[in-house]
Amino acid sequence: MTHPIGIFDSGIGGLTVFRSIAEQLPGYDYIYLGDNSRAPYGNRSFNTIHQYTWECVQWLFKQGCPLIILACNTASAKALRTIQQKDMQGLDPSKRVLGVIRPTAEVIGNYSTTKEIGILGTVGTVQSESYLIEISKFFPDLKVYQQACPLWVPLVESGEYEKPGSAYLVKEYLDELMAQSPNIDTLLLACTHYPLLMNKIKAQLPANVKVIAQGDIVAKSLVDYLHRHPELEQKLSKSGSMKFYTTDDTSEFDRHASRFFSEPVTSKYVSVTEFSCK
Ligand code: DGL
């Protein structure tokens, strides 16, 4: 049996993080799971996001993953702590589930000169205030403004983001965020779907505003984590395989996923009914 690194997202957005991880940590085995049939998670309740995420994490454990990355800000904000502190009690203590918020919070203040930044995320991520809480631990003087963008994930998942009309929806949320302070010089895309909108976002902003996607930040942090945890690193199998699973239609997944992953993707189907089978 292989012992792959599991990468989870509600849909295809996590592939932007997976791309960076696979580049910085080549040769490992990977399994990606996108819960497309139940995405988007962003507008759902705490309990629902936690239940869905925990089901997906358990399935990835069953596939032999000793380490799982929640490549989804919404799941990291709403489910990670309960999974780490409650659900995993009594399981093999060497298993690990990590999120994307903390590694991003650890460095995001370094990008800003004015020390005022904006966070763009789903309703769930913004309402959880997870970024405000985590960033204040590392950059207590940084001013952080948030904006929820509830229509951006559906825009990306549907493929409509490539059409010219999407510029209107992109501009609307950016205007609301930038109106909160004239000194914001850095915007964090705190949703793994948003890097697909990067060009459209940049087109609406003054040239001095940096737009940061978190894939490379998360990947760099994982490289460091594996250095600090050799016992876990040695458990991971390294035959260079990459498997993709979706809980929805595979051809749709493959068509969109190739753009997020920058290379052709062939996925397999897994039914969510399988998640409840012990
Ligand atoms: N890609 C996920 C994130 O980073 C969210 C998508 C969703 O709403 O399902 O937050």
DSSP character string of 28-41: S-EEEEE-GGG---
Which of the listed residues 169, 191, 215 is the one where a domain comes to its end? 215
- Whether residues 132 and 79 share a domain: the answer is no
- Work out the average pLDDT over 197-202: 96
Q: Which of 56, 65, 72, 149 is catalytic?
A: 72
- Distance, in Å, from the CA atom of 40 to the CA atom of 38, rounded to the nearest integer, reads 6
* pLDDT at residue 259, rounded to an integer: 84
Q: In angstroms, what is the span from residue 1 Cα to ligand 1's centroid?
A: 30
Mutate to test the pocket of ligand 1, among 20, 41, 53, 246 (most ligand atoms within 8 A of CB): 41
Question: What is the overall mean pLDDT for the chain?
Answer: 95
Find, among 36, 94, 33, the residue nearest to 60 by Cα.
33
Query: What number of helices (H) and strands (E) belong to the chain?
Result: 13, 10
Tens digit of each residue's pLDDT (9 = 90 or more) over 130-176: 999 999 999 999 999 999 999 999 998 888 898 988 999 999 999 99
**110, 31: one domain:** no
Given a contact cutoff of 8 angstroms between Cβ atoms, the answer to whether 75 and 14 are in contact is no
d(CA 213, CA 191): 9
**Does residue 222 surpass a pLDDT of 90?**
yes
Mean pLDDT of 211-239: 98
- Residue 277: pLDDT band (50, 70, 90) is low
**Closest by Cα among 173, 103, 96 to 131:** 103
Nearest to 60 by CA among 274, 232, 262: 274
Ligand 1 pocket test, pick from 48, 149, 153, 197 with the greatest ligand atom count within 8 Å of Cβ, gives 153
Residue range 207-224: mean pLDDT, rounded:
98
Asked whether 193 lines ligand 1 (CB < 6 A), one says: yes
Contact 212, 192 (CB under 8 A): no
Residue 278 reports pLDDT greater than 60: no
Under 8 Å CB-to-CB from 165, ≥6 apart: which residues?
Answer: none
**Cα(51)–Cα(253) distance, rounded to whole angstroms?**
23
In the chain, beta strands by DSSP E? 5-9, 30-34, 67-70, 96-98, 116-121, 143-148, 186-189, 210-213, 242-246, 267-269
Dihedrals phi, psi of 119, to nearest 5 degrees: -115, 130
User: Do 140 and 198 fall within a single domain?
Assistant: yes
The answer, yes or no, to whether any atom of ligand 1 lies below 6 A from the CB of 215, is no
Smallest Cα–Cα separation from 44: which of 102, 155, 122, 100? 122
Beta bridge partners of 213: 189
Indicate whether 224 and 235 sit together in one domain: yes
What pLDDT was estimated at residue 52? 98
Whether this prediction's pTM lies above 0.85 is answered by yes
Domain with 92 in it: what CATH number? 3.40.50.1860
In this structure, the answer to whether residues 130 and 164 fall within a common structural domain is: yes
| Domain end marker among 166, 181, 215 | 215
Structure tokens at 133: 């809480």
Based on the structure, what is the number of domains in the chain?
2
46 and 182 both lie in a single domain: no
Q: How far apart are CA 254 and CA 145, in angstroms?
A: 35
The range of the structural domain enclosing residue 255 comes to 5-99+217-275
The mean per-residue pLDDT over the stretch 75-92 comes to 96
Instruction: List, for residues 86-123, the tens digit of each pLDDT value.
Output: 999 999 989 999 999 999 999 999 999 999 999 999 99
Q: Beta strand 30-34 with 242-246: parallel, antiparallel or unpaired?
A: parallel
Q: Per DSSP, what are the bridge partners of residue 64?
A: none
Co-location of 21 and 78 in the same domain: yes
Catalytic annotation present for 65: no
Question: Could you tell me the distance, in angstroms and rounded to a whole number, from the CA of residue 193 to the centre of ligand 1?
Answer: 6
Q: Of 53, 178, 184, 46, give the one whose Cα is nearest residue 125.
A: 46
Tally the C-alpha atoms within 13 A of residue 98's C-alpha that lie toward its C-beta. 22
Q: Which of the listed residues 196, 215, 234 is the one where a domain comes to its end?
A: 215
The answer to whether 123 touches 49, Cβ cutoff 8 Å, is no
